[in-house]
Structure 1
Amino acid sequence: MGKQVNNLVNLLAFKTYSKCYLAFLLFVSCFNIQAQDLDYKNGKTYTLGQITVSGNTSFSEQTIVAYSGLSKGKEIKIPGEDIRDAIKKLWKSNLFSDIEVFVTNIEGDVATLEIHLSDLPQLNDLKINGVKNGKKEGIIDDNKLKRGVKVTENLLTTTKNYLTSKYKKDGFLNTKVHINTIDVKDSIQTSRVNMVLNIDKGEKVKIDDITFSGDSVLSEKQLRKSMKNTKKKNPIRLLKRSKFIEADYKEDLVSLIDTYKENGYRDARVLSDSIIVNNDKTISLKIDLEEGEKYTFGDITFIGNTVYTNQQLSRLLRIDKGDTYDGVTLAKRIADDTKPDANDITNLYQNNGYLFSNINAVEVSADNNVIDMEIRITEGKPAYFNSVSVVGNDKTNDHVVYREIRTRPGQLYSKANVVRTVRELGQLGFFDAQEITPNFNNPNPNEGTIDMEYVVKETGSSQIELQGGYGGGGFIGTLGLSFNNFSIKDIFKKDAYKPIPMGDGQKLALRLQASQFYQTYSFSFSEPWLGGKRPVQFSTSLSHTKQFLYDYTNYEADKSRSFNITGITFGLAKRLTVPDDFFVLSQSVSYQRYDLNNYNTGLFTFGDGFSNNLSYSIGLSRNNTSVDPVYPIEGSSFSVTAKASLPYSLFNGTDYSELKEEYDDLDLTDTDDFERAGEIDQERYNWLEFYKVNFKGTWYTQVAKDLVLRPNVEFGFLGAYNQDRGVIPFERYFVGGDGLANYSLDGREVVQLRGYPNQSLSSEDGGSIYNKFSLELRYPITLAASAKIYALGFVEGGASFDNFRDYNPFDLKRSAGLGIRIFMPAFGLLGIDFGHGFDSIDNSGVKNGWETHFIIGQQF
């Protein structure tokens, strides 16, 4: 019998196939022995002799043998696990398509083996059909279909499954993907294939109808509304189009039951749901429900609470005995996962140090449809920050980051402080707000400690504006540099220029703009933490502009006649602690000198002279918008500012009523009278006298997963202390257009109102009062660090008035339109709006129609 077994072993082969199927084949020609009769227990131990390699492979015999784990002189059992393991190791390398191990000869106790294998083919060329060229690179990257990759069955399967799933998520339920491989015949021994990837997305599947059965308590309209992502066809719905995505549908089935739970039907469930394919290639959804009975809350008992009383917790829970049972609201009042700063019981504990607290709601009785609840609380030990660190601030100096952090080592843990820190770091503008991550490391419930690590990703904080264009009758060139993370202390350090000194959080801006009609130069600098110990911002700016008179005879600028404006401003802004530390009190003093050199226009009746504007401004603002300043999704921003000059008419001894009477009696067509009018204006506007009040409020609300609603209200009023002196011709409001002030440095405020030409909704000299109301709906296309892009739709209305007697807040110029914004760190905010004005500019009754507005560098 031993001789028979030896003969059988000589015919024994071990083989694996490309689908990871491993089998042991026993070929028997002269003995009636079944393969299953031989197992590892019947194997015999041999010493390996020569091991050879055959087949189609580019690897050396030495490499393959070494990788298999087999070696000459090694004792193995045949049949046995050694050969099986060798085959599995070779297979796991993902380099071969077929592997076989044969026993070629046995002499005594020495066995000779042959390893026969073939290399997996490499991808030579890829052709993708059925998608746009711009999408092909993404498919290649996502599926790793680069030239030279090994083409395995797994690669083909995962690529097909990925693409099918990808397009199904977009509503293309009938997507078909076919992959063909073609062997490449060339002089190179390496096996290569060309791949053809055919993608047929088919038509996007829409939902014709959604019907329910078993529903009697809630209407089908209520049930469909609760399904946020799965909608039936509706031609008037623009924001949420009909499409079927399985994952969203399953999520909506949960939302459907949550709607019942919110109305007291805690036992509601989906019995079944089915998809019906219609003849017009749409589908219908049928959902069978079991509603159950309505429940109410009974007794609610708190167990385990020692830090807070039952009354304190009940006030936060806001659920009373007899209320309709609402499991969804109950869960949110205990822990609202959708809002990190929610007013719930979990945050009550976590904001006061109890990081390791645990709160669970347990039903203890449901007799007669009345549910008694126990809120079981495990408070744990108060937690303290052991260490606090920041990772990723390669350019920004540590002290700039750490001064914004609200969590300190040794400080009692507060979730609110962690959330606020993330917000403050995002608001700096030096880091990608979407990538700021707070990591809780080494939590130790026994010791009551936690290590806090904030991970940030720096983004470009400097911007350049380089423009050239034709406008106003000539070429306009602009050079602007804005360094938002500047370091002035390193300005004389040669090694700090990479390319500029950075890292201290200061802001430095330079801007030059020129054409044949004007020149403007401006410089500004701000330090957000004056002295380095308190959030007190110091700012200063210096500007100068020279505007030349337009000569209508030769359509050129007359350089001998100019209007020069020079200004300087110093300001301080302090973060307050009362009512809360979102409030900022700002104050500034500014001076402008207006100098006219033979510059006769309608602005004054004098062409040679000057005016001085010395004013004080005070403002109170509050900004608690969310982390990303480019695309806030929640919060609000309010500001009220007052700007005023000294009441010179009270103490300068001039009788302005007499001057006004004289001025009104003058005939400005008479040369002498015109000169006298100029003298009167020079006296009236020698030192400008005025007061000015502005208000602006903006809200951000996330109305859906990605949609953000932005209402905005603005109001401004320019007044005079002395009515005989009148409202000054500077500091006025110019409404309409893109809202860009261009080169105007005379204190004017240019107010955006799209759908109308620039500054077309105010009188020639500007209005003294204005209001504006707008509503924007924003949708993010991408919020990546390299470029943040969002689309918007807007409706707005506004107007300006020359005096308060004419003011009517409801007399508005209305518009609506669409736009897009692109924020790139190196260039700031860019955008374009298409606005349609519904009203006429000159009250002719003819609406203004469409206007295109380009937005460059405007604030968010």
Structure 2
Amino acid sequence: MEKQVNNSANNTLLKTISNTFISAFFLLFSLVLTAQESPFNSGQKFTIAEIIVTGDTNFSEATIVTYSGLRKGEVIAIPGERISEALKKLWGSNLFSNIDIYLTKTEGDQAYLEISLQDLPELNELEIKGVKKGKKDALIKDNKLNKGVKVTENLITTTKNYLTNKYRKEGFYNTKVTVTTSPVMDSIEKSRVNMVVNIEKNDKVKIKEIEFVGNEKLSDKKLRKAMKHTKQKNLLRFLKRSKYVQANYKEDLVSVIDKYKENGYRDARVTSDSISNNNDGTLSIAIRVEEGEKYTFGKIAFVGNTIFTDQQLSAMLGIRQGDTYNGVELKKRIADDSRPDAQDITNLYQDAGYLFSTINPVEVSADGNVIDMEIRISEGKPAYFNNVTVVGNDKTNDRVIYRELRTRPGQLYSKTAVVRTVRELGQLGFFDAQQLSPNFKNANPNEGTLDMEYSVVEKGSSQIELQGGYGGGGFIGTLGLSFNNFAIKDIFKGEAYKPVPTGDGQSLALRLQASRFYQTYSFSFTEPWMGGQRPIQFSTSLSHTMQFLYNPRTRDADKSKSFNITGITVGLAKRLTQPDDYFTLSQAVSFQHYDLQNYNTGLFTFGNGYSNNLAYTVGLSRNNTHTDPIYPTGGSSFSVTAKVSPPFSLLNNVDYTALKDERAALNPSDPDDYARMGEIDQERYKWLEFYKIKFKGDWYTKVYDKLVIKSGLELGFLGAYNNDRGVIPFERFFVGGDGLGNYSLDGRESIALRGYPNQSLSSQDGGTIYNKFSLELRYPITLGAQAKIFALGFIEGGNSFDNFKDYNPFNLKRSAGVGLRIFMPAFGLLGIDFGHGFDPLPGLSEKNGWETHFIIGQQF
């Protein structure tokens, strides 16, 4: 069927060319037979006495004569080249459907010419049938079918071909497109037509069967699997539909031969293929192959190498004598174009500075189906960076970018350094990671130099959070400002406020959250390069929270009963060089003061008092995720942290064993005993004593194209130095829900587990140990600079436990679902998840079922 369509298009083209040729022949012939049939000698010279314009045209006579190039008083030969040139010019304007030049009369050596022509019709109204209204504008734009365009045969033909091919690519193999025109009958003199484009897509044509003929060594199933885009009908397959697209089918025929080459059949070929229509509207494909003999690798010799030994190159190649011949794998081991950081021989040379090296595998013999190979290497000169520049940064200061570059002028070229630089620039978050590109400039193989230009596109790096909602018994309002490319040195420069000082790569965030029952204020600042010389990150944060007790009688907050928390944290993080420079060591000292004023709840047995939390946190993390921090396509990130307090029980001479025994003997129902319990707890928690260990890891794996699997693991444990003193009631883990802490007053951590209500999988006081496992399948809808949108499906499981003796890592609350994430530079990450909990909540017997979660400002 495809050949029939192509032949029809070719016939139309041939007919058009034929008609044009015949018309041109008669035009030239008309020069001989003038209107008065006056005889003249071939090629006789005449002076043009007059040129008149006749026919159906809206162009003025002067315009047409000027455009033709003929001039009154000009001496020309009739017939001759000047007449031919005038015809070519007029036809080349694509404004006319018919053009004639006549010699109307001669008087001596004076010639009188007439140019007779007819305008091409203009498009008046266009009607497109067979597609949805929202698709029509794009079709009009792609085919340039705007009102007023000249309607030519070529326009009609290209429109039909474009639409036919467009829908065939989408699987509508039987698409038919007809274009009809009708003249407009009105008072306007110019020629106009109405056009109707009728698109009959018909049903998508599915492939019922793909049959292979001549294959004995590889099964039909294995060959069908090699065809990535063209699949036969299968009810169990969802990701690839069985539609026929000719371009994809041709690619898949190449993939079939590649599959043979991977298995040693280097001479395999497709001898013929046919497509037939079935009565049920489907297609059947038959592919005949010739497999040939199976080959193995013989001797593999390296020629021209001086930088690396044969042993080093052989180890990198990873192919041994006697291995099954695999031409596809051989090509990848020499140069894998699908991965810029691949472990191949080309990258081995390029990382050693030999940018201009070339590596070519050559078959030197194929005796007895054993192929001897020579890997011929031309090393060339080592390449050095001459100039290294960055273009496109109109906000971020040059020094902020240049300190992240792994390529310097005078430095030996390294492809790994170039790839790493692109990753580091993408991880900054100031530029659109999808548009980062390293551009080679002025590469000179003879001198061994090149210039490197990194092209960046700035994106918004400041975010505003303004939201309202209902929770905690009342309306909650939140105002947050986050400036991720701040310049604190310009804070007193009025001209730098556009709208805030930017460009130094610092982060500054302010946040206010309030309701009737609580208020939270926080400030944080981060300098990623303290001192500007080394990647040592300095950070600090301040926060203050006020929680008011609920009065059941007035159903309002009682401002005389409050629980206040004031905290400060100062931290340093240093990029390491060992085991590699993806590692970061971070340290922080934090202090929190908990102040209770007439705040009597079940959380504490004392309502008036305080607690202090002085802690040191040390963490080791590694992050080598690929380029885009919003949508990583590879790599991993993990962190191990330990938060510890000083061992106060060894220093304060308090007998906690006696306090524990005394508390156990008290009756909480007795007011005096309850008051004494409060005094004991005040003593126990005056200075908090604990240690807290956490691990979190995420791994990203590209499955196909931009389809990515993210797998994750989380663990956390809160312990006590002194068992008599016990585990503190602060710093605990609360599992379940969206993971948004809202107002976490006591250092608690909210652990997301979708498919269950917030914090529903932990006891009332929180767990001291938890684990979580997750798996996400992600696919991007768009990764543009203005918005990044991706869809996801997930399965995950986790749980929390009150003590270590109850811990069972396989006792999981399981869930699965789907979600959507939207990242906009001005607002951060937004999303929604629909999760189904397969297990009951603690204390219940039926599974939890569906939950909807809204995500603001965080990633899973």
Q: Judge same fold: TM > 0.5, yes or no.
A: yes
Structure 1 equivalent of residue 306 of structure 2: 306
CA–CA distance in structure 2, aligned partners of residues 166 and 837 of structure 1: 43
Preserved contact between residue 573 and residue 587 of structure 1 (Cα < 8 Å): yes
Which residue in the other structure is 2:538 paired with?
538
- What SS does the aligned partner of 2:771 have? strand
Q: 1:689 to 1:282 in 2, by over 3 A?
A: same
Displacement, 1:186?
Answer: 4.9
How much is the aligned-residue C-alpha RMSD, in angstroms? 2.5
Any residues of structure 2 matched to 1:573-652 within 5 Å, and which?
Answer: 573-652=573-652
Cα shift at 1:99: 3.5
Amino acid at match of 1:210: I
1:674-823 counterparts in 2 under 5 A? Answer: 674-823=674-823
Structure 1, residues 264-289: CA drift from partner, whole Å, max 9, x if none? 11111111111121111111211111
CA displacement at 1:580 relative to structure 2: 1.3
Q: Unaligned regions of 5+ residues in structure 1, if any?
A: 1-14
Distance 1:473 1:124 in 2: 64
The offset of 1:843, in angstroms, is 4.7
Give the whole-Å Cα distance in 2 for the aligned partners of 1:147 and 1:486.
50
Q: Does 1:376 align with 2:376?
A: yes
Bigger Cα displacement from structure 2, 106-115 vs 703-712 = 106-115
Distance 1:54 1:486, change over 3 A: farther
Label 1:327 to 1:479 Cα distance change in 2 as closer, same or farther (>3 A). same
Q: After superposition, where does 1:252-271 map in structure 2 within 5 Å? A: 252-271=252-271
Deviates more, 1:761-770 or 1:167-176: 167-176
Superposed counterparts of 1:149-228, under 5 Å: 149-186=149-186, 188-228=188-228
The whole-number CA distance in structure 1 between the counterparts of 2:577 and 2:816 is 40
Q: Which stretch shows the higher mean deviation, 801-810 or 410-419?
A: 410-419
- Cα distance, 1:148 vs. partner? 4.1
- How has the CA–CA distance of structure 1 residues 626 and 122 changed in structure 2, closer, same or farther, with 3 Å as cutoff? farther
**AA matched with 1:258:** D
Aligned to 1:839: 839
Question: Which residue is 2:247 aligned to?
Answer: 247
- Tell me the residue number matched to 2:10: none
User: Which residue of the partner structure matches residue 8 of structure 2?
Assistant: none
In the alignment, what sits opposite 2:514?
A: 514
When residues 826 and 369 of structure 1 are mapped into structure 2, their CA distance, relative to the original with a 3 A threshold, is same
Question: What's 2:857 paired with?
Answer: 857
Q: What is the deviation of 1:236?
A: 1.9
Distance 1:20 1:418 in 2: 58
**Contact 2:233-2:242 within 8 A present in 1 as well:** yes
> Which residue in 2 is equivalent to 1:6?
none
2:575 and 2:59 map into 1 onto residues whose CA distance is 69
In structure 2, the residue matched to 1:444 is: 444
DSSP 3-state at the match of 1:23:
helix
* Alignment partners' CA distance in 2, 1:384 and 1:370: 41
Percent identity (aligned): 71
Paired with 1:797 and 1:55, the residues of 2 have a C-alpha distance of: 82
**How far off its partner does 1:248 sit?**
1.5
Q: Does the residue aligned with 2:809 lie in a helix, a strand or coil?
A: coil
* Partner AA of 2:538 in structure 1: F
Q: Does 1:24 align with 2:47?
A: no
> Cα deviations across residues 765-793 of structure 1 (Å, max 9, x unaligned)?
11111100011111111112222111111
Partners of 1:737 and 1:753 within 8 A in 2: yes
Would you say the 8 A contact 2:27–2:100 is kept in 1? no
CA shift for structure 1 position 700: 0.8
Q: Output one character per residue of 1:119-151: Cα deviation in whole Å (capped at 9) or x when no partner.
A: 444444443333333333333333334444444
- Structure 1 range deviating more: 151-160 or 651-660: 151-160
Secondary structure of the 2:704 match is coil
1:726, CA displacement in angstroms?
Answer: 1.1
Instruction: Name the amino acid aligned to 1:314.
Output: S
How has the CA–CA distance of structure 1 residues 842 and 65 changed in structure 2, closer, same or farther, with 3 Å as cutoff? same
Task: Answer yes or no: is 1:525 the counterpart of 2:525.
Answer: yes
How far did 1:808 drift? 0.4
Change (3 A) 1:797 1:23: same
**Equivalent AA in structure 2 for residue 576 of structure 1:** L
Change (3 A) 1:622 1:64: farther
Partner residue, 1:68: 68
- Residue-by-residue CA offset, 1:736-763 (whole Å, 9 max, x unaligned): 1111111224321111111111111111
Q: For 1:148-180, what per-residue CA distance to the aligned partner results, in whole angstroms no more than 9, with x for missing partners?
A: 444443333333322222222221112223334
Q: Secondary structure at the match of 2:792?
A: strand
Q: In structure 1, how many angstroms separate the alpha carbons of the residues matched to 2:447 and 2:461?
A: 41
Kindly provide the amino acid, as one letter, of the partner of residue 431 in structure 1.
F
Displacement of 1:31 in angstroms is: 9.9
Q: 1:569-591 CA deviation, whole Å, 9 max, x = no partner?
A: 11111111111111111111111
Residue 13 of structure 2 aligns with which residue? none
Within 1, Cα distance between the matches of 2:463 and 2:187?
54
Letter of the 1:115 counterpart: I
1:517-558 Cα deviation digits (max 9, x unpaired): 222122222121122221121112222222221222333222
Report how far residue 189 of structure 1 moved.
4.7
Map of 2:9 onto structure 1: none
AA matched with 2:728 = I
Work out whether residues 16 and 87 of structure 1, in 8 Å CA contact, stay in contact via their aligned partners in 2.
Answer: no
What amino acid is aligned across from residue 651 of structure 1 in structure 2?
A: L
1:227-263 Cα distance to aligned partner (Å, 9 max, x none): 1211111222222222222222111111111111111
Equivalent residue, structure 2, for 1:322: 322
* Contact residue 633 and residue 700 of structure 2 kept, 8 A: yes
Q: Which moved more, 1:152-161 or 1:778-787?
A: 152-161
Q: For residues 666-705 of structure 1, what are the alpha-carbon distances to aligned partners after superposition, in whole Å with 9 as ceiling and x for unaligned? A: 1111111111111111111111111111111111111112
State the Cα distance separating 1:384 from its structure 2 match.
1.3
Compare 516-525 and 344-353 and name the one that shifted more.
516-525
Q: For residues 266 and 464 of structure 1, do their structure 2 counterparts lie closer, same or farther at Cα, with a shift above 3 Å needed?
A: same
Question: Structure 1 485/59 Cα, relative in aligned 2: closer, same or farther at 3 Å?
Answer: farther
Q: Aligned with 2:82: secondary structure?
A: helix
With 799-808 and 839-848 compared, the bigger mean Cα shift is at 839-848
Q: Against the structure 1 CA distance between its residues 734 and 562, is the aligned structure 2 distance closer, same or farther, given a 3 Å change threshold?
A: same
The answer to whether the 8 Å contact 1:16/1:99 transfers is no
The answer as to whether partners of 2:737 and 2:757 remain within 8 angstroms in 1 is yes
Gaps of 5+ in 2: 1-15
Aligned counterparts of 2:116 and 2:103: Cα–Cα separation in 1? 11
Structure-to-structure mapping, 1:73-112, within 5 angstroms: 73-112=73-112
C-alpha displacement of 1:805 = 0.6
Aligned partner of 2:772: which letter? Answer: K
Code of the residue aligned with 1:102 in structure 2: it is Y
2: CA distance, partners of 1:790 / 1:170:
22
AA matched with 2:271: L
Alpha-carbon separation, structure 1, partners of 2:463 and 2:360: 51
Instruction: Compute the displacement of 1:45 (Å).
Output: 3.8
AA aligned to 2:25 is F
- Whether the 8 Å CA contact 2:31–2:103 is kept in 1: the answer is no
> Residue 679 of structure 1 aligns to which amino acid in structure 2?
E
In structure 2, the CA distance between the partners of 1:109 and 1:395, relative to structure 1 (3 Å rule), is farther
Q: What does the per-residue CA deviation read over 1:396-423, in whole Å, with 9 as the maximum and x for residues that have no partner?
A: 2222222222112221111111111111
CA 1:495–1:652 in 2, change beyond 3 Å: closer, same or farther? Answer: same
Label 1:16 to 1:375 Cα distance change in 2 as closer, same or farther (>3 A): closer
Question: What is aligned with 1:422?
Answer: 422
TM-aligned CA deviation for residue 298 of structure 1: 0.6
TM-score of the pair, normalised by structure 1 = 0.93
Q: Which amino acid aligns with 1:267?
A: D
Amino acid at match of 1:668: P
More displaced 10-residue stretch of structure 1: 140-149 or 566-575: 140-149
**Equivalents in 1 of 2:291, 2:569: separation in Å?**
68
- Farther off after superposition, 366-375 or 509-518: 509-518
TM-score after normalising by structure 2 = 0.93
The change in CA–CA distance for 1:522 and 1:274 in structure 2 (over 3 A counts) is: same
Q: Is the 8 A contact 1:357 1:379 kept in 2?
A: yes
Matched positions, count = 841
Task: State the alpha-carbon separation in 2 of the partners of residues 421 and 437 from structure 1.
Answer: 10
Q: Which amino acid aligns with 2:357?
A: S
Deviations 1:473-494 (A, max 9, x none): 3222222222222222222222
Question: Which AA in structure 2 matches 1:754?
Answer: R
Q: Assess, with a 3 A threshold, how the Cα gap between structure 1 residues 540 and 188 changes in structure 2: closer, same or farther.
A: farther
The letter of the residue matching 2:789 is I
- Residue 664 and residue 208 in structure 1: after superposition, are their counterparts in 2 closer, same or farther (change >3 A)? same
Aligned-partner Cα distance in 1 for 2:617–2:31: 109
Structure 2 residue matching 1:838: 3-state secondary structure? strand
After alignment, is 84-93 or 253-262 more displaced?
Answer: 84-93
Change (3 A) 1:668 1:535: same
